[in-house]
Structure 1
Amino acid sequence: MSLRAKIRNWLTEKYLIVIRKKQDFSVLGSFNVSFSRIIIMGVLSLSVIFFISLVLTRTILRQWFDPVYMETENTAKILMLSDIVDSLSVAVSQKDAYLANIQGIISGNGVLGKESLADSIANKPDSGSSKPAAFKPSEATLSILDEFNSAPVEYSNPMDISGSSFAEAFFFSPIKGVLTAVFAPQEDHFGVDIVAKENEPVKAIADGTVILASWTLDTGYILSIQHSNELISIYKHNSVILKKVGEIVRAGEIISIIGNTGELTTGQHLHFELWYKGSPLNPQEFITFD
C-alpha cells in the first residue's frame, strides 16, 4: 500500500466515541469522529478565536494592545504637559521680573531697565550659594518690565487703604526703641529709623516668606518679607541675617540682629519700611515702636 493511501485511510478512518454512566454502564450517547474532522474543527476554532481577539484588540482592549493608540495617547499627554511647562515658565519669568524690580526699589536703584534686569536676576542674592545663575530674559519678562516702567512708584496715604484686609490686622513691632527718623517720602525716606540697644533681635511683623536676604553697599545687610495681600516689609542695616530666601517665617519670629551696616547708616539702628502694591506706607500708622 502506498504512503498516500495510508494517509488517506488514516484521515478518513472513523472512530466511535461512546459516553456511558459509571454506575450501570448504560449508554448516554455516542458520535463518530475522524482525524480529518478533528483537524477541520481545530482550524475553525482557531479562526474564530483569532477573529474575536482581533475585534477585541481594536475595540475594548485597544488601549492595552494597539501601539498606535498608545502612541497617540502619549503624544496628547506630552503636548498637554508641554503647554503646562510653557505656562509655568512664563509665570516664573513674570515672578522673577517682579522680584527683581522689588529688589531694585529696596536697594534704591528704582525700577530696573531691560539690560539691568537680566544682570539683577542672574546675580540674585542667595545666602546658600555664591555662584550667580545665568539668566536670559524672555519676551514675557520684557513685557512685564514694560508694565513696571509705565507705572511709577507713588506714595499711598494709609487712609487710602484703610478698607483693605490688613488695615485692621495686628502687626508685631519689629523692635522696641526710639524713633530717630520718621516716614518722609518727599525726602526719599520711605520708612522709619528705630534706635535700640546693641544686639537687639529684629522680629517679623507678620507671617510671610523671605524674598530678599542680601547685602548692599548703601543699606548693609537687608531682609525683605512678602506677606499676604501684597504687603511687603523691609528691614535694613542689620548686623546679622538669620533667614534665607524662600524661608517661611511666623509673626514675632526673630529674623535678624540690629546693626550699623551700609554707607547710609548714621549709627546702630533699624530702618524699617512697609510697601503695599509697590507703594510705601507709613509704618507708624500700623505699628507702635516704643
Structure 2
Amino acid sequence: MAKKKVKKRKEIKRKLLHKYRLVILNESTFEEKISFKLSRLNVFVTGSLFMIGLIGLTTLLIAFTPLREYIPGYSSTRLKKEATELTYKTDSLIRTLNYTNKYLDNIRMVLKGDIENTVVNRDSLFQQYKLDPASVDLSPIKEDSLLRAEVALEDKYNLFERTIDKKNLVLFTPVTGSISMGFNPNEKHYAVDVTAVTDSPVKAVANGTVIFSE
C-alpha cells in the first residue's frame, strides 16, 4: 500500500511538471508564429492568480464606484441624501408642531381663565439697574492726575503743528513790516526777523502760548 501511494504521488508530480509546448501556426503556410513552453502546474498557478486578480478588481469596482448601486441590497447615494434631508425636515416639523401645540395650550388656558392676569410694575423692572450718582466716586485717581499733568506739560511747549480743522482757519499776517533777516540754520538763526513801527501789535494766527520774547 505504501509503495502504491508513493508511486501515485510520483505519477501526479510527473504529470504536473511535465512540459508541453503551445504553438500557434499560420494555417496557410504552417509557419510558427508564437510558441509557449507550459506545464500543468504553470497553467494552474497562472489561472489561479488571474482569477484572484479578477475577483479583487471586481470587488474594488463594486466597493468604490457607483456600480454597487445596481447590486440588490445596496442603496444609492441619492437615496441616502434624500433620506438625510427628510430626517432633518421631519425634526424641524416635529419641533414646530410642539411649539404650536404649546402655544395653543396657552391660549386655551387663557380663554378658560386658568391663568390670572398679573400686573407688572415697569419701574420696578428698571429699579435694579438705576445708578445713584452720589454713590459713585468721581474724583481722579493718582495715576490719572499724573497723566493729565504730563500731557499738559508736553502740550505747553509743543512746537509742532497740531491736528486742527483747517476748514475754518483764516490766515493773516501777524505783523506788517519788512523782513530784516530770514530763517538761516547755518548761522543758527531759527526765526524770521520783521521790522515794524514801534508798539505795533503782533497778532497770533491761533491760540497758543508765548515761549520767548526779545
TM above 0.5, one fold? no
Scaled by the length of structure 1, what TM-score is found? 0.29
Look at both structures and tell me which one has the larger radius of gyration over its CA atoms. Answer: 2
| TM-score of the aligned structures, taking structure 2 as reference length | 0.37
Question: Which structure has the higher relative contact order (CA within 8 Å, separation 6+)?
Answer: 1
